[in-house]
Amino acid sequence: MRIAISPMIKIEKTKKTKIDKVDFNNLPFGQTYTDHMFVCDFENGKWQQPKIIPYQNISLDPSAKIFHYGQSVFEGMKAYKDEEGRSWLFRPLDNQKRINISAKRLAIPELPEEYFMEGLKELLRLDSDWIPTSQGSSLYIRPFVFASGNGFHASPADSYKFIIACSPSGAYFSGKLKVLIEENYSRAANGGVGYAKAGGNYAGQFYPTQLAVDKGYQQVIWTDDHTHEYIEEAGAMNIFIRIGDTLLTAPISDRILDGITRKSVIAIAEDEGIKVEVRKITVNEVVEAAKNGTLKEMFGAGTAAVISPIDEFGYRDNDFKLPVIENNYASRLKKRITDIQYNRAEDKFGWRYLVE
Ligand SMILES: Cc1ncc(COP(=O)(O)O)c(C=O)c1O
């Protein structure tokens, strides 16, 4: 075991890499993990010395509060390799800020920016060979924090674990996407935790999503919890709707995650001269637009798939097919974003971040 000390991170390298056992031509999303992980514990009222150690199981007391009270938040981001073999991140400081926004809402102590960024960069330097190079593939990065402190008492824990784990992932392709506009269950409510990337937000989606899957849909489109008249989010993505030549997306609120892809899509669409309206979108106007032929595109936007075009949506007892449009916004915007991510194009927005 070699122990090295970088400015602040204690590094224990793996004795034997697992990389030769991985089939990089066949990478299911989020199922293979790299050689190392970043770990930092919050104990005695402060974050302790961060470490990078070989990827391994963790041991917790059965009374750890994560199991009982769901005190946990996470992030999802990616690292990309360019043709010269350099590694890049996309707007990583936005993920760093967002995990602290989520943490604060769940009464989890915030992690200092330099721990997150230095930990991430050091981990990517060590596991750089794990960033896949084939077309559309990338290294999915999962930073997360959870309550490791003990006690069957419904109160915040006194200790936490912050971990960054990485998973090489192939190009994301979901096949034809048929979604259901949901008007019984809700993902989030005013004053709740919908804007946080809290583990429980996802657990709460699984059952309604399974009901939709049983009816032949792949995903649920969430509407507002109060009236179910407004379209809000698509599963683990923000949603965009093109009516005529205008691109619509719902405004960020207590109930909607402030997606980094969403912000990027809005900026690039405006840069392309596309008219973008950030406003409340009614289910009625989308159904009407589908009926009168002005509904041109619907797509989800999120880190995993970048942009997922929706082929068909269901509302109450009717299904509506989206038209097939040449040179559509979804593929134009996806190309602009991925060209920046993979260092294939100029980055006039300053979003790309070199891992040196
Ligand atoms: C609920 C939800 N909305 C939207 C998004 C998209 O956010 P981002 O573009 O930052 O990945 C995600 C994924 O992180 C999500 O989980």
- Residues 175-201 have pLDDT tens digits of 889 999 999 999 999 999 999 999 999
298: Cα within 13 Å, side-chain hemisphere: 31
The torsion of the CA quartet 181, 182, 186, 187, rounded to 10 degrees, works out to -50
pTM above 0.85, yes or no: yes
Pocket test for ligand 1, best of 303, 307, 333 (most atoms within 8 A of CB): 303
Q: What pLDDT score was predicted for residue 4?
A: 47
* pLDDT the model gives residue 123: 98
In whole angstroms, how large is the CA radius of gyration of the chain? 21
Dist. CA 257 → ligand 1 center (Å): 6
Calculate the alpha carbon distances from 20 to 23, 29, 34, 35, 137 in Å: 8, 18, 11, 11, 18
For the chain, which residues score pLDDT lower than 70? Answer: 1-7, 173
- For residue 251, report the distance from its CA to the centre of ligand 1, in Å: 14
What is the per-residue pLDDT across 246-263, written as a single tens digit (0 to 9) for each? Answer: 999 999 999 999 999 999
Query: What is residue 255's predicted lDDT score, i.e. its pLDDT?
Result: 97
- How many other CB atoms are found less than 10 A from the CB of residue 270? 12
Q: What share of the chain is helix, strand, coil (3-state, %, to 5)?
A: 25, 30, 45
Q: Which of 140, 257, 258 for mutating ligand 1's site (highest number of atoms within 8 Å of CB)?
A: 257
Ligand 1 within 6 A of CB of 233: yes
pLDDT at 326: 93
